Structure 1
């Protein structure tokens, strides 16, 4: 039954693709569509865990000493279900162009390396280099939206507090009202440099992470038969392992980035305490302890398994539905 339903779904999607004229689109446009859709789907699926992770990373009052489950309960009590998705609008607005650029530029960089640097061969080194370059490109193009998402997610407003007569009390308004307000305020206060605060550790972290993620995913897939490569379970498993290994090595840089992004929102304000990536790491270790470099890592593991797994799986399925040529044929197609 599952098999017939899957075949029916594929047939319906194929029919939709044929009727839409999407076959006339260039390969790179199809890759953009596939990557953006995969990113949006994966990010929304793990939005509640992403919100909790940011609250733990930035040591938000009332959350820094709680575990994952207790943090979810506290957030639900204070802000209700919508609290789980605060900042997700900015996150999805960022992830659609980010994932689209990430996947598309990965394919294009890979072809470019194969065409111009045959010394690297066609093995995992190419995936590592192409993935790293693609990650850096996507970050530079979409970083201000990531900054806005973090600042919105950092704000916690008690929406449940009420007066004695049963009516809700008036609580302090959040500093930022939405994505546009964040971007305007940050630009007004610090110009373009303000919009890219924390981009240093982000780039240092994304280059190895993105490269390792693609490398591990493609390496694992290459070790199973072509018939089994179509299995959704196999794709989910390879994606989960790719995300876990890649994230473990680069997580401290993510913590430094988050703290740099919310410095002006924390009590006391003041100037920048983390002037550089290395300064940020040493300051966190000396003032908060080395464990803070891994704050929220457990929830990141919980989040990264479905997020990366869903992202890779959705991308591969979208490529199939959009009839994007298999990767080994992409080089000749792109050249044409």
Structure 2
């Protein structure tokens, strides 16, 4: 009997301790400011989504920039060639810079989207609460995030553009390696670019980036939120529903803005191309578009688009799903409650 009472007492104490620990965790999370939670949710979602599609992102950049030996290959042959020359690590070359950029980018993108949305609702009631608000808030958030993180995107592109035979090839009984790359890492890229052209050089290609990101980011949020509005309430938290809505949102938004992404990539690496000899190829976005069509053919404006379709579906889908899931885990209040709190 004593043993039974002791066991009961022990289980009660354990249960009390577990509940106390859980309550402490709840209190700690609830004390974190909402905007910090939104930053954490957005950053985690971006890093997870970007790493998942890193190999396809690397191939896309090689095709966009017409890297020697890759511009005439398809997706499968490009992946096979990259694996042969650089191994599995080659699939993730530049991904460190990509994740380093995407964490603050996605964090700012999602967080500022939520706040721009509230600001529009509070100050422009005539617009209502429909998808137009998501379009405007998403565009503004995309522009803000790009301006704050663009140098890291520049570094990612320059690193991904380089091809180095890290495995070497056997010729005449000796291993032959390519010459050393122009850049050895993220910091090295930033330092060299800044030294060569100052702050302005760190934002080379920002024009087409902003022109492209404003409609893309806006359309992405617009389509995602609009699709979610047509889903029955009992399916609102379904992972499959979020993945599907996110995939369609990314697919739709990317189709309209892809040529601008090609111009941006070529502007970012133009001085690394032998034909450029250090000269400025494109002085503006419109000049870049016209020049590519005239000299490389209109198809080049969509080089790598098939990869982007394959990449953007899981990327945006995973990003939105991870963001919504993180919001639930961090107990970020629904938007209706946030709006009420803001008004109060």
TM-score normalised by the shorter chain: which range applies? over 0.9
Aligned to 1:70: 77
Among 166, 171, 196, the alignment partner of 2:203 is 196
**2:300 equivalent to 1:292:** yes
Aligned residue pairs, count: 325
Structure 1 residues 335 and 92, CA gap change in structure 2 (3 angstroms): farther
Rounded to whole Å, the distance in 1 between the matches of 2:269 and 2:23 is 45
In structure 2, the partner of 1:5 is none
1:327 CA drift (Å): 1.6
Does residue 220 of structure 1 match 2:220? no
Shift of 1:164: 5.3
Q: 1:300 to 1:120 in 2, by over 3 A?
A: same
Which secondary structure state, in structure 1, belongs to the residue aligned with residue 169 of structure 2? coil
In 2, distance between residues paired with 1:293 and 1:87? 23
Gaps of 5+ in 1: 1-10
Task: Measure how far apart 1:270 and its partner are.
Answer: 2.5
CA deviation digits over 1:237-268, x for unaligned, max 9? Answer: 00000000000000000000000000010013
For the residue of structure 1 that corresponds to 2:150, the secondary structure is: helix
Mapped to 1, the partners of 2:333 and 2:107 lie a distance apart of 17
CA distance in 1, matches of 2:241, 2:303: 30
| 2:312 aligned with 1:304 | yes
CA RMSD of aligned residues (A): 1.8
Of residues 100, 103, 124, the one that matches 2:107 is 100
Tell me the alpha carbon deviations over residues 257-311 of structure 1, each in whole angstroms, 9 at most, x when there is no partner: 0000000100132311110000000000000000000000000000000000000
Report the 3-state secondary structure (helix = DSSP H, G, I; strand = E; otherwise coil) of the residue aligned with 2:176: coil
Q: How far is the alpha carbon of 1:162 from its aligned partner?
A: 3.4
Contact 2:165 2:177 in 1 (8 A): no
Give the equivalent residue in structure 2 for 1:211. 218
Does residue 265 (structure 1) correspond to residue 275 (structure 2)? The answer is no
Distance 1:84 1:166, change over 3 A: farther
Deviation at 1:23, TM superposition (A): 1.2
Deviation sequence 1:21-52 (CA, Å, 0-9, x none): 12101111100000000000000000000000
TM-score (norm 2): 0.91
Moved more, 324-333 or 180-189: 324-333
Contact 1:17/1:23 (<8 A) preserved: no
Measure, in 2, the Cα distance between the counterparts of 1:59 and 1:15. Answer: 55
Distance, in Å, in 1 between the alignment partners of 2:117 and 2:282 is: 35
Counterpart pick for 1:128 among 135, 145, 166: 135
Between the aligned partners of 1:203 and 1:322, the Cα distance in structure 2 is: 31
Cα offset for 1:331? Answer: 1.4
CA shift in 2, pair 1:111/1:19, >3 Å: closer
Residue number among 307, 317, 337 corresponding to 1:329 in the alignment? 337
1:16 CA drift (Å) = 9.4
How far, CA to CA, are the matches of 1:197 and 1:131 in structure 2?
A: 23
Partner of 1:3: none
Name the structure 2 match of 1:318: 326
For residues 141 and 232 of structure 1, the distance between their equivalents in structure 2, rounded to whole angstroms, comes to: 31
1:59 and 1:164, CA in 2 relative to 1: closer, same or farther beyond 3 A? closer
Query: Contact (CA 8 Å) 1:131, 1:214: kept in 2 or not?
Result: yes
Contact 1:54/1:154 (<8 A) preserved: yes
Deviation per CA, 1:177-206: give whole Å up to 9, x if none.
000000000000011110000000000000
> How much has 1:171 moved relative to structure 2?
3.0
Is contact 1:251-1:293 (8 Å) kept?
Answer: yes
Change (3 A) 1:159 1:270: same
Match of 2:14 in 1: none
